[in-house]
Structure 1
Amino acid sequence: MEFLDSEIMKHFMHSAPVNIFFKDTECKYCFVSEICDMVSAGENGSIVGKTDLEVQKFSEIGKMYYEDDKKILATGEGSQYINEFLMEDGKSLYFEIKKNAVRNENGNIIGIVGIVDNVTERVRLEKNVEELSIIDGLTGVYNRNYLKYRVEEKKKQLIFPFTVIMSDCNYLKEVNDQFGHEYGDILLKIVAGTLKEEIPEGSPVIRMGGDEFMILGNGITEEKASELMTNIQESLKQKSKEKIPLSLAMGSYTVQDKDFCFDEICHKADMRMYEDKKRTKADEGVEIIE
């Protein structure tokens, strides 16, 4: 194939379906096929001769790009990642960046070549699929997958004191046995809706399976948790029907700082919930067989 001269090569690169860029050994742009809205091109409309520290509108991302460039130049190892840009309208744009070191015929690193691809639609679709996978189809609250996919991420955003509230429907089996599972489903929907109504925003409600629900209480003190549980019980009592008695066994456990074991506080809240269930059954003269 006939060798392409530099001008023709530029036409090819400007027509590429992704944004192509070259940088020198000082992390400065030598070429970029497209100037996007995420950078400040200056009066001459160009970012050539500048680093990401100078041109990125999001300074933290500019710093991260620059440090990544220096690492590539030092090690010769490429990189690949997706960055989120939160826009003024509250929506996010996502760009995937891939970069490799460029070596000359002697094996010396002489710069960086990279591409930038707008993957916003792909990421949004992936997030929608993930969101569907963590929502309980019957009640509309989160399901157990939430703990699998989100808890480690959310631990970094916890507000202390932090409280776990465990709850279990007292009469689901009786409702199912006497009136059918369709009434049991109605019971679960009402309970889930009540929990969402009473629990402050930012504290996820999770259906753990069957008739058991968990609440992750951000910024909820032990006293506040007790008040919330009382309010929930009162609200359920008012919503009870003859065929659908609404009542929860509930228990909570509160920690004051990040030095805690998540499984341990869930277990302690669960034990307190079980003690509450035993008291309820004892008041009704029903024996619980362990």
Structure 2
Amino acid sequence: METQKEKKERTMDAISLLLKATHDITALMDVGDDGKVRYNQINKAYSNVTGLELEEVMGKTPEEVYGDIHGKLLSSYYDPCIQEKKTVHYQATVNVLGDIRQVETRLTPIIKEEKVVQVLSCAQDKTDQRRMEERFSRFYSLSVEMMCILDKSGFILDINEAWVKKFHVQHKELLSKNIIDWIHPEDAQSFELAMQKVLTGHKEENLETRIKIGKQAYRWVSWSAVISIEENVLYATARDIDDQKKAKAQVDEQRKFMETLFKNSSDGIVLFDNHHRVIDINDSFKDIFGYSLEEIKGKDVDDVVCKNEKREEAEKITEAVMDGENIVTEGIRYSRDHKKKYLKIKGMLVTIDNEAKGGFGIYTDITKQKEDEEELRYLSFHDKLTGLYNRAYFEKEALRLDQAEYVPITVMIGDVDNLKLANDRYGHFVGDELLIRISRILEKSCRKSDVVARWGGDEFAILLPNTDKEQAKTILRRVKENCEEDSFDPVRLSISIGMAVKEKKEESLNSLIQKAEEEMYLAKGRRIQSLKN
């Protein structure tokens, strides 16, 4: 007979298996004696969505992970599950890595001896589904397809808004009319025969007739219809193909237009056959990749634009295009002179009479955009003047390093001396240079594992993991010595630094920063007093 211990282990094994196997955003929460929930396990989907790893959240409450406001909201969802010992469903709009998402969550209590000891949280991101439903609804309401419901004699029982928009008549004017009265006399017989065919259970598709409502001219439409045996009615759609009919007379003109578009597009375009061999390229392709048509005509398109490490990726895209997929992606390709190009890549199949004849490769050069994005990413975590990390990065790293494995942790806060004097007496150019010099000294004095940041204005902050008080004092001495050795006219290099050491895991880094600031102000005061003396 299975023991309680074995049963518990089996349950935990099942939960662990669920966490690994499910695509849902899943977390296993422990329920403490204080009624608070704390993270026990999270799966890969949870990490992918939140950017958090298990070691960052394990043993922490939602408040500790997400802050008071969002954390308390999350914790509040668990209360009825724990108190009433029942599965709870809720929907929430959450900010996930800067993206607003709609999430549906199911909280399932795990009960032992009539007490909820854990809660399994399984969430599904419904954002894309909701957006798709909204898009479909908008598409349906704006559809140009004319739809109607007919009785067996052809009288209209219901009709959609597309008819109203197409023929500029009121909805009520169309009801109870016989659809056959709108059909061109030359097409009436074929329409009636098609209706009889549908009434016998066959589906009618692409029957082309001309129709006219009111005083407007006849228009070509393509009919499709089926019968609903249960309702004893016909469902029919009429697609306006009048413009398509006229377009057939304009094929030559459109071909000329497409040739002009091909030649003058700002995107690089290559036309290749169904063996992937280059047939033609436009001028923008030449500009992006540096090849003339004579150099590459008849060559495999992937040989032209790829190096070995990108060849497999490019071949998969080309094969997908030849399978009929419309490809839109981004990737790296190489020009004739081996320059790396960041590109938006589109691929589409070329068919003639429903037979694949080749494809188009369309390349938009986004190298400058990618370089700008990289620069913005750099600037978002760096101080523009000094090149050091900024406060946002410091605070992000402080959260990451606030773990037992990095204790003891030392925090230093420094305030540059003589900056106001430099700005007032010698100008902000000298003041800026003073800040830059101090930045280099701090970098030189610290280790690679330390985080040196400009805190703001004339203040700097340093985060030193696995550093006790004596080690920190050594770094302070290096800062002082490097300031004394660096010659900078007309202002003496100096920075007042306060520090605080976290020696216990339970201590808060925020309180540590506050202590370091207080020590910095004391150091600043002592320096001013010594100058007065």
> Same fold judged by TM-score > 0.5?
yes
Aligned AA for 2:408? Answer: P
Q: Mind listing any 5+ residue stretches in structure 2 that lack a counterpart?
A: 1-16, 27-44, 52-123, 127-328, 333-341, 343-369
Bigger Rg, which one: 2
* Residue among 192, 196, 221 paired with 2:443: 196
- Residue 220 of structure 1 deviates from its aligned partner by 1.1
Does residue 271 of the first structure (1) align with residue 518 of the second (2)?
yes
| Alignment correspondent of 2:430 | 183
1:231 to 2:478 alignment: yes
SS of corresponding position for 1:284:
helix
Shift of 1:157: 8.0
What's the C-alpha RMSD, in Å, of the aligned pairs? 3.6
Matching of residue 161 in structure 1 with residue 408 in structure 2 = yes
2:444 counterpart letter in structure 1: E
SS in 1 for 2:442: helix
How much does 1:67 deviate? 2.8
SS in structure 2 at match of 1:168: strand
* Number of the residue aligned with 2:154: none
**Would the aligned equivalents of 2:483 and 2:494 in 1 still touch at CA under 8 Å?**
yes
What SS does structure 2 have at the residue aligned with 1:258? coil
Residue 424 of structure 2 aligns to a residue whose secondary structure is helix
Assess if the C-alpha contact under 8 Å between 2:394 and 2:451 holds in 1.
no
Same amino acid, percent of matched pairs: 26
Q: How does 1:17-28 map to 2 (within 5 A)?
A: none
CA distance in 1, matches of 2:521, 2:385: 24
One-letter identity of the residue aligned with 2:514: H
Give runs of ≥4 in structure 1 deviating > 2 Å. 63-67, 69-72, 79-84, 118-122, 124-132, 147-158
Establish whether residue 172 from structure 1 lines up as the match of residue 172 from structure 2: no
Q: Deviation of residue 254 (structure 1)?
A: 0.5
1:258 and 1:213 map into 2 onto residues whose CA distance is: 24
Map 1:45-56 → 2, pairs under 5 A: none
RCO comparison, higher one (Cα < 8 Å, 6+): 1
* TM-score, normalised with respect to structure 2: 0.32
Deviations 1:47-82 (A, max 9, x none): xxxxxxxxxxxxxxxx7884325999xxxxxx6874
Helix, strand or coil: the match of 2:480?
Answer: helix
CA contact (8 A) 2:402 2:509 kept: no
Q: Which residue matches 1:135?
A: 382
Give the alignment of 1:3-22 within 5 angstroms. Answer: none
- Post-superposition Cα deviations, 1:179-209, rounded to whole Å, max 9, x if no partner, equal 1100011110011111111111111111111
Instruction: Please state whether the residue corresponding to 1:206 is helix, strand or coil.
Output: strand
Give, in whole Å, the separation in 2 of the partners of 1:223 and 1:183. Answer: 34
CA distance in structure 2 between the partners assigned to 1:243 and 1:217 by the alignment: 32
Q: Which residue of 1 aligns with 2:461?
A: 214
Shift of 1:154: 3.6
Q: Is the 8 A contact 1:161 1:254 kept in 2?
A: yes
Q: Per the alignment, do residues 149 and 129 of structure 1 end up closer, same or farther by CA in structure 2, a change over 3 Å counting?
A: farther
The answer to which of 124-133 and 219-228 deviates more is 124-133
Task: Tell whether 2:501 aligns with 1:254.
Answer: yes
- SS state of the match for residue 22, structure 2? helix
8 Å CA contact 2:411, 2:512 repeated in 1: yes
Partners of 2:507 and 2:474 in 1: CA distance: 24
Q: Which amino acid aligns with 1:208?
A: W
In the alignment, is residue 205 of structure 1 matched against residue 461 of structure 2?
no
Q: Cα offset for 1:279?
A: 0.9
User: Which residue identity is paired with 2:509?
Assistant: F
Amino acid at match of 1:162: I
CA shift for structure 1 position 152: 2.3
Q: 1:67 aligns with which of 21, 31, 48?
A: 21
> What is the aligned length?
188
The 3-state SS of whatever aligns with 2:500 is strand
TM-score (norm 1): 0.56
Secondary structure at the counterpart of residue 425 of structure 2:
helix
Distance in 2, matches of 1:267 and 1:160, equals 18
Q: Larger helix proportion, structure 1 or 2?
A: 2
CA distance in 2, matches of 1:64, 1:120: 35
User: Judging changes above 3 Å, is the alpha-carbon distance between structure 1 residues 279 and 120 closer, same or farther for their aligned structure 2 residues?
Assistant: farther
* Conservation of the 8 A alpha-carbon contact between 2:499 and 2:520: yes
More strand as a share of residues: 2
Report the counterpart of residue 56 of structure 1 in structure 2: none
Query: Displacement, 1:156?
Result: 4.2
**One-letter identity of the residue aligned with 2:391:** R
Q: Distance in 2 between the 1:119 and 1:152 partners?
A: 33
For 1:213, what is the secondary structure of its paired residue? strand
Query: Which moves more between the two structures, 249-258 or 209-218?
Result: 249-258
What residue number does 2:293 align with?
none
Which residue number corresponds to residue 14 of structure 2?
A: none
Q: CA deviation at 1:250?
A: 0.9
8 Å CA contact retained: 1:80, 1:99: no
Taking a change above 3 Å as real, the CA distance of residues 181 and 71 of structure 1, as seen in their structure-2 partners, is closer
The answer to whether the 8 A contact 2:398-2:509 is kept is no
Q: Rate the CA distance shift 1:234–1:80 in 2: closer, same or farther, 3 A.
A: closer
How far apart are 1:119 and its partner, in Å?
8.9
Corresponding residue of 1:87: none
Preserved CA contact (<8 Å) 2:409 2:466 = yes
Cα deviation, 1:116-172, whole Å, max 9, x if unaligned, reads xx99999x9978744420100000111111145443234348612100011111100
